[in-house]
Amino acid sequence: MGNVNSAKHHQPSDQNIIFTNNVGEAIDSIVGEIKPSKLFVLVDTNTDVLVLPRLAAISKAVESATKIVIKAGDEHKDLDTLAQVWSQLSENGATRESMLINVGGGVVTDLGGFAAATFKRGMAFINIPTTLLGAVDAAVGGKTGINFNNIKNQIGAFRQADAVVISATFFDTLSQHDLRSGYAEMIKHGLLESPEVFNRLIDSDVADIDTNAMLNLLQESVLVKKRIVDADPTEKGLRRALNLGHTIGHAYETLALERHSPIPHGYAVAYGMLTELVISHMQLGFPSDTLQRYAKYVAESYSSFNFSCEDYPNLLAYMAHDKKNASPERINFTLLEQVGKIKIDCIVGQQDIKTALDITRDLMGI
């Protein structure tokens, strides 16, 4: 088990991440060190049923905590839900010395982290991600917040959890889609890190990995993100590397939503990385054999996302709306010269993006 250090409270970097499949023991050990005056556990309507009883059976801290339940789903990551959490903390006597244990996916850890960061100007919180996507991305790195005015994550704060306990214990509650969705963010970390990490991931099928092997892969993957976030906690530069696949991925996600047939976030990222690797090939000479291997992996594991050239204007408009872009003519990307060789802040023109969308459709066979 990693170091548990309560003195890390409020520091923006140097995250305390514990990798273990003995989650109960890890939580009780952290709580024993921080010694909060009162404990709260935040779950959503899914983890309340699927995870909390299992966790309460193995952790005295969780068993004794006051429970707060929010509705599951990104549509509830909003001000109303946040206000409900604040109210329950207030009505149940939370103070700055209390601690919130967030048990769930990205909605719970983002909203719970923000509730804890703001309640009485900040109380302790720990994240227990229960989804693969949450474990490799949302629960780590200190981005907390809610959606506001139809804009995702518009209100929030950078605030590291006092500890994050990463485990594969609860992944048996996830669907194949959920697993594959999270795995795409792991592949992103592999692309950012090295050919070894990338190859290990795309040579495996997430559906066949057992809990212990998954914990090793999780550790390798999360430490890629940790190193990037520790170097640039507030996203002034290097952290933008974590946007690989997301500029176009978010556009695919939005298009799917507009068509009323949403796709999981990680699937959109998997398709987005394909198009961004095409651009990397066009602009930076990213090797075509690696691009072809990745394209084959996407076709086998994520099927394809159907779009035509009639969708290009909308896709470009969604990319242009991304907060990182100064002008619609000049869209900002993280690209790769090769696996592990990152180039942030690459400005790409609309014509090149359209060409990359054409090539993506060819590679997907649509």
Distance of CA 313 to the CA centre of its chain: 28
Pick 159 or 239: Cβ nearer ligand GLY: 239
The minimum distance between CB 10 and ligand GLY, in angstroms, equals 19
Nearer to ligand GLY, 44 or 185 (CB): 185
Q: Check binding of 110 to ligand GLY (CB under 6 A).
A: no
User: Is the CB of 143 or the CB of 281 nearer to ligand GLY?
Assistant: 143
Name the residue nearer to ligand GLY (CB basis): 87 or 234: 234
28-65 core/surface letters (b: 16 or more CB in 10 A; e: else): bbbbeebebebbbbbbbebbbebbbebbbebbebbbeb
Q: For ligand GLY, which residue of 24, 36, 106, 141 counts as binding (CB under 6 A)?
A: 141
Nearest to 242 by CA among 257, 229, 260, 258: 229
Query: What distance in Å separates the CA atoms of residue 338 and residue 358, rounded to the nearest whole number?
Result: 22
Q: Return d(Cα 13, Cα 252) in angstroms, integer.
A: 32
The answer to the question of residue 143 lying near ligand GLY (CB under 6 A) is yes
Determine the residue type at 208: D
The stretch among 135-143, 171-179, 204-212, 303-311 that binds ligand GLY (CB under 6 A) is: 135-143
CA distances for 144 relative to 80, 106, 153, 155, 161, angstroms: 16, 9, 8, 9, 9
Which is closer to ligand GLY, CB of 69 or CB of 238?
238
Q: With contacts defined by CB under 6 A, how many residues of the chain interact with ligand GLY?
A: 5
Q: For residues 117 and 145, what is the distance between their CA atoms, to the nearest angstrom?
A: 10
Footprint (CB under 6 A) of ligand GLY, residues 224-243: 239, 242
3-state secondary structure of 1: coil
Residue type, 125: F
Give me the least distance between CB of 271 and ligand GLY, in Å please: 17
Query: Could you tell me the two tokens for 57?
Result: 């059976």
Binding mask 240-269 for ligand GLY (x = CB under 6 A): --x---------------------------
CB of 235 to ligand GLY, least distance (A): 6
Contacting residue, 44, 48, 110, 137, with ligand GLY by CB under 6 A? 137
**DSSP per-residue letters across 253-267:** HHHHHHTT----HHH
Nearer Cβ to ligand GLY (77/239): 239
Q: What's the closest the beta carbon of residue 185 comes to ligand GLY, in angstroms?
A: 8
Q: Which residues bind ligand GLY (CB under 6 A)?
A: 137, 141, 143, 239, 242
